[in-house]
Structure 1
Amino acid sequence: MTPDNIIIRNETEADITAIAALTEAAFASLEISNHTEQFIIAALRAAKVLTISLVAEADGIVVGHVAFSPVRIADGAAGWFGLGPVAVLPERQRQGIGTALIHEGLARLRALHAKGCCLVGHPAYYTRFGFRNVSGLFHAGVPPEVFFALSFDGCLPQGEVSFHEAFHAAA
C-alpha cells in the first residue's frame, strides 16, 4: 500500500540530482554506512545495470529512491538481483515510503521473471518482505545475519553472491 500523496514511478534523467541528494541525506547519519551510496547509484547508472530504478514523489518532489541491479552467484544461478541502495529523505522516513518502493520494485522484478533478490541490510526491516538468511549463500566480508535472499520460485542458489563492481564506487 502506497502512502497518501506518494507516486511511485521510474526514475527520469530529471531526477538524477534529486536522487543523489536524497541518498546522501538519508545515509548521512548512519554509522554503518561508508557514505558512498549516491556514488554507487551513479556508477550503476553509468554502467547501464540499473534494472529497476524507482522514485517516490510527493507533490512534485522526489522523496525516496530504490535501485535493483543484477548479481552474480558462484553456482551460476541466473536471474538474481540485488536490492539497494534504498533511501528516503530523513524528514519523510517512517511513513511507509521505503516499504512502498521495495514492494513495487519486487513486484517489477517478478514481472521480469526474475528468480530472486539479495541484499545486505537490517534484519528487523527486510524480513518483513520475506527476505531471510540462507545457509550456503553469502556475500564475502558481510556477517551472515545481515545478508538476505528472497526466492521468487522456491529455488535457492548456493555460493558467494557478487554485487556489481559499481558497489565499490567511492566518488
Structure 2
Amino acid sequence: MALDALALDFSISLETPDLDQPILELTDRAFGPGRYVKTAERLREGSRILPDMSFVALRSGQLLGSVRMWPIDVREGEACERIAFLGPIVVDDACRGQGIGKALIHACVEAALAKGLRAVLLVGTPGYFQPFGFEKAKGIALPGPVDPNRLMIRYSQPDLAFTGRVSKAI
C-alpha cells in the first residue's frame, strides 16, 4: 500500500540531529540493554547513520518512532557493493498498530533505492518484512552470529543477487 493511501495522523520526516538522544532513549526502552550484544549492533557502532535515509515519525512534535539506515559493504573477493543496513526500527509502545512502522520502512527503503543503492539488508521477522519486498539473504554473512532465516534483503531489481561478507563502511 502506498504511503499516500494511508490516513496518517502523524508525519514522516528525515531524522534531525536534535532527535538523536530521544531516538536512543526510545530504542533503549523498546529493546533494552540486550541489543548491545547483537551482531547488528556491531555493524552500527562507530558508524554514522545515512542522514538522507533515516526517518522519524512525529505527532505534534512528539517522537513516535524511528528507523535508521547505516552504510555497509558486501565483499566477495575484489567485488564490493555498498548497500544500506536497516535498523533498528522502533515505535513507541503506546503507538504500535497504527501503521507507523510500515510508513517508516516504506520511507527509508524508497529513499535508499532513489539514491541509487541496489539493496537494503536487515535482520528481522520474515513475516513482517516480506510484504515490503524483502527476502532471505542467501550467500551473505554478517561478522557475527545471526539467525540466517532472519537475515533479509530487498534488491532494487529482481535479477540482482549479492554474496559475500558484510562489513561496516565508515
Cα RMSD (Å) of the superposition? 2.3
Structure 2, unmatched stretches of 5+, are: none
Please list the CA deviations of residues 60-89 of structure 1 after superposition, one character each: whole Å capped at 9, or x if unmatched. Answer: 101100011111112233231100111000
Q: What's the offset of the Cα at 1:163?
A: 4.2
Q: Secondary structure of the residue that 2:48 maps to in structure 1?
A: coil
Give the direction of change, closer, same or farther, for the CA distance of 1:135–1:36 in structure 2 (3 Å limit): closer
Structure that is richer in strand per residue: 2
- Structure 1 length normalisation: TM-score? 0.80
Of 61, 70, 88, 2:91 maps to 88
Amino acid at match of 1:36: Y
Structure 1, unmatched stretches of 5+, are: 166-171
Q: Does the CA-based 8 Å contact 1:5-1:59 persist in structure 2?
A: no
Q: Does the CA-based 8 Å contact 2:12-2:57 persist in structure 1?
A: yes
Give the direction of change, closer, same or farther, for the CA distance of 1:136–1:50 in structure 2 (3 Å limit): same
Give the direction of change, closer, same or farther, for the CA distance of 1:151–1:135 in structure 2 (3 Å limit): same
Residues 95-104 or 68-77, more deviating: 68-77
Instruction: Name the residue aligned to 2:160.
Output: 155
Instruction: Name the residue aligned to 2:67.
Output: 66
- Structure 2 length normalisation: TM-score? 0.81
Q: Which 4+ stretches in 1 moved above 3 angstroms?
A: 46-49
Please list the CA deviations of residues 114-146 of structure 1 after superposition, one character each: whole Å capped at 9, or x if unmatched. Answer: 110111111111112111113212324112101
Instruction: Name the residue aligned to 1:18.
Output: 22
Matches of 1:34 and 1:164, distance apart in 2: 24
Instruction: Name the residue aligned to 1:116.
Output: 119
Q: Percent identical across equivalent pairs?
A: 28
Please list the CA deviations of residues 82-125 of structure 1 after superposition, one character each: whole Å capped at 9, or x if unmatched. Answer: 00111000111121101100100011111101110111111111
Please list the CA deviations of residues 32-82 of structure 1 after superposition, one character each: whole Å capped at 9, or x if unmatched. Answer: x72339xx5xx66x7434342211001210110001111111223323110
Q: Does the CA-based 8 Å contact 1:137-1:158 persist in structure 2?
A: yes
Amino acid at match of 2:35: H
